[in-house]
Amino acid sequence: MTLRRYLILGGMVVFGAVGDVCLSRGMKGIGAVSVSSLYQLVPAVFNPWVSVGILFLLGFFISYATALSFADLTYVIPATSFGYVLIALMSQFLLDENVTVMRWIGILLVSGGV
């Protein structure tokens, strides 16, 4: 694996984690959306946090597709497992979520098991 390929995998992890956190922050401001009120998602796109989250998730998709062009799926998916740790850290410090010890144990078991 070349440095460029490691950077693509790292970018995939960071883009995905940042995108998920931004999307979560934006959607918390929108409120609960149900299947019967999907129309509420239209104005959500204009929420700055949701828009930035979508852009980062687009970056994730591009780096994910790029990674799949040179590596097996069974390599790419486990390589993203660090994203769970990154999401938990960002959620705790940026979103003020309470990440309990039990959640950390679960995150580490899933990340380490992959």
pLDDT for the residue 39? 80
Decide: helix, strand or coil at residue 72: coil
Cβ distance 80 to 10 under 8 Å? no
pLDDT for the residue 114? 66
The position carrying tokens 């609960």 is 32
Average pLDDT, the chain: 92
- Could you give the CA distance from residue 69 to residue 49 in angstroms, rounded to a whole number? 30
* Whole-prediction pTM: 0.88
Cβ distance 61 to 19 under 8 Å? no
